Each structure stands twice: as C-alpha cells, then as structure tokens.
C-alpha cells in the first residue's frame, strides 16, 4: 500500500511568488491534515479536511494560505504571495476515520522563501 506522498519535496522561491504544495493521502483515507514546522519551532497544525470539507482550519496563519481538497482525494496548499516567514517544512498526514488511532505522515515539502 502506498503511503502519503507529497510534491514537491523541495521548493525555493522568492518573496512575493506563489507556491502550491500537493498531498496525496493514502487511498481511502477520509481525513487529511496539513502541518508545518518552521525552523527551530514545533510542528504546528494548519488544517483538517474530512473528505472535501474543511473540518478545522484554525491553524491557518493568514489569508495568504489557501487549502483545497478536490473531490476528497488529493489536497493542495497554496501560498500567495509567499513571505520569508513561510519557510519551513510542510507535512501532510492522513487517517482513515474520524477517531482513528494514528495519522500517517508524508515526507514533507521543504519550502525556502528568499
């Protein structure tokens, strides 16, 4: 069974540009989460999808971040325009049911904004 995949693995962009990160959850997993770890800080929750609906987006830092999950399958996280403080590692995770024991994490996308 394929795990959670993320694309790209690395992205280097300039301040003011737009970047779109993609996450493909494990097939059949209704729950999809985005987290990020800014350099030197803890991993922080961004938002949670149940199928195509946003269950909780309380962790989204500001309106420069837009997450979508088309048809309840893969998800994208767009940052527009990117700022220096957006640099970090963006993780995606998925789990099959709402009260599931564990979340399965993807390898992360390392974003560097110059």
Partner 1 sequence: ELKVEQNPLFLSMQEGKNYTIYCNYSTTSDRLYWYRQDPGKSLESLFVLLSNGAVKQEGRLMASLDTKARLSTLHITAAVHDLSATYFCAAPVKYNNNDMRFGAGTRLTVKP
Q: In this complex, which beta carbon is closest to partner 1, that of residue 59 or of residue 81?
A: 59
Distance CA 79, CA 94 (A): 21
Residues that bind partner 1 (CB under 8 A): 4, 31, 33, 35, 41-45, 48, 56, 59, 91, 93, 95, 98-108
Strand order in 65-68's β-sheet? 5-7, 19-24, 75-79, 65-68
Residue 76 CB, shortest distance to partner 1, in Å, is: 19
Q: How many CA atoms lie within 13 A of 83 on its CB side?
A: 7
**Nearest residue (CB) to partner 1, 15 versus 54:** 54
In whole angstroms, how close is the CB of 38 to partner 1 at the nearest point? Answer: 12
């Amino acid at each position: 069974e394929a795990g959670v995949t993320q694309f790209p693995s690395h992205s280097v962009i300039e301040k003011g540009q737009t970047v779109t990160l993609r996450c493909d959850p494990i097939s059949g997993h209704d729950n999809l989460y985005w987290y990020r770890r800014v350099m030197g800080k803890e991993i922080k929750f961004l938002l949670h999808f149940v199928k195509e609906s946003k269950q909780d987006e309380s962790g989204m830092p500001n309106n420069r971040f837009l997450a979508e999950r088309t048809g309840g399958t893969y998800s994208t996280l767009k940052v527009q325009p990117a700022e220096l403080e957006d640099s970090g590692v963006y993780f995606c995770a998925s789990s099959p049911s709402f009260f599931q024991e564990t979340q399965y994490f993807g390898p992360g996308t390392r974003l560097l904004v110059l």
